[in-house]
């Protein structure tokens, strides 16, 4: 029998796999960038309907569902920022100082 933690991890892994499908790119972006002042559970954003369809809150309390969505959001943000290449400004060559002038 799986523990609660194992069940949650399986649901998170399944959700991440589903969110990585091209047809779910808009839902993935919504979850990753979500910053509603009322949180996921109380959000009235129409995109939440897609979230609920893709990641159903079955067998969850409001609290455990919110924790799962925030965990998924953290994973998506980490993966997103890992893949961004930061372009550093070109380094200008240093002028050599002539100390014997």
DSSP one-letter string for 60-87: --HHHHHHHHHHHHHHHHHHHHHSPPP-
Q: Contact at 8 Å (CB) between 20 and 37?
A: no
pTM of the full structure: 0.75
Task: Kindly tell me if the per-residue pLDDT of 88 is higher than 60.
Answer: no
Task: Kindly tell me if the per-residue pLDDT of 1 is higher than 70.
Answer: no
The two three-digit tokens of residue 89, written as one number: 């400004």
Say if 64 falls within a structural domain.
yes
Say if 51 falls within a structural domain.
yes
The two three-digit tokens of residue 78, written as one number: 């980490």
How many folded domains does the chain comprise? 1
Say if 16 falls within a structural domain.
no
Say if 81 falls within a structural domain.
no
Range of the domain at 69: 24-33+45-73
pLDDT at site 34: 95
pLDDT tens track for 2-25: 787 888 888 899 999 999 999 999
């Amino acid at each position: 029998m799986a523990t609660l933690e194992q069940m949650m991890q399986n649901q998170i892994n399944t959700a991440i796999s589903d969110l990585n499908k091209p047809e779910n790119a808009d839902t993935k972006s919504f979850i990753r960038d979500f910053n509603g002042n009322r949180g996921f559970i109380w959000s009235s954003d129409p995109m939440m309907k897609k979230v609920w369809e893709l990641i159903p809150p079955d067998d969850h309390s409001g609290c455990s569902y919110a924790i799962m969505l925030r965990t998924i959001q953290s994973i998506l943000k980490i993966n997103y920022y890992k893949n961004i290449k930061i372009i550093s400004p070109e380094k200008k060559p240093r002028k050599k100082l002539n100390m014997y002038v």
